[in-house]
Amino acid sequence: MKILITAGPTREPLDPVRYLSNRSSGKMGYALAEAAREAGHEVILISGPVVISAPAGVTLVQVETARQMYEAVRDRLEGQNAAIFSAAVADYRPASQAEQKIKKTGDTLTLTLEKTEDILGSARSVFGFTGYLAGFAAETERLLEHAQDKLVRKGCDLVIANDVSQAGIGFDSEENEVTLCLPDASPFPLPRQSKAVLARELIAFITQQASLKKLF
Ligand code: PMT
């Protein structure tokens, strides 16, 4: 089947040399892309700036900002059988970008931020996506409650709940430990494992679920 995957962080510029971002390394999303390719799927990987290389055989689309990732997803989602949103997209960006480097003038500096585009939240409601929709929920508290809320609010078939408060899993680590949240089933915890092994499990699960729903 055709799978679109988002990965990595976004960078939201403040001035020509500074930006707001987060600690996503892209490892989880790139592992998903590799596992999907290995399973014989056609993969589009839309990635924020990372230092790792894209797996062979995957179509890589590189973006920097949340707006660019939104546009890249919007332009490529049609015709995909499944989409997995693992990117850590900035929820807010500086409301304005200074043309010159901001000078150190006062003891404090107040930034005004504005909301970015909600890419996952737009998949169904704005882009009209009808394929299998999987999102992540990266949470530091009330993990399953927030994940269930995202599942319903964003029209997902699956939310992969990721406790990012624990050392050694989540952002910029080799391993991950997640719980699968589905609309009509109890949350299903998976063991802590390498992102490569987890990615293969997730791709196998998503392929089976998409096939049951006759989406490819
Ligand atoms: O990249 P790694 O270092 O390997 O780390 C992996 C990870 C921790 C980044 C990954 O496993 C993960 O949890 N990704 C989701 C990160 C996140 O920002 O989650 P969130 O709960 O803020 O967002 C919920 C969902 O909406 C996610 O699917 C996200 O991709 C999507 N989203 C969020 C904001 C936005 N403006 N647009 C979106 O599409």
Annotation: CATH topology of 2-98+111-212? Rossmann fold (3.40.50)
Calculate how far, in angstroms, residue 162's C-alpha sits from the geometric centre of ligand 1. 9
Residue 118 in contact with ligand 1 by CB distance below 6 A: yes
Please, which pLDDT band fits residue 114 given cuts at 50, 70 and 90? very high
Average pLDDT over residues 170-179: 97
Average pLDDT over residues 40-62: 98
Residue 169 is predicted with a pLDDT of 97
Residue 28 is predicted with a pLDDT of 98
Residue 69 is predicted with a pLDDT of 99
Residue 136 in contact with ligand 1 by CB distance below 6 A: yes
Residue 85 is predicted with a pLDDT of 98
* CA distance readout (Å), 103 to 13, 98, 99, 113, 188: 15, 10, 12, 19, 50
What are the pLDDT digits (tens) for 58-81? Answer: 999 999 999 999 999 999 999 999
Which percentage of the chain shows pLDDT scores above 70? 100
Q: How many residues does the chain have?
A: 216
* The ligand 1 atom nearest the CA atom of 176: 11
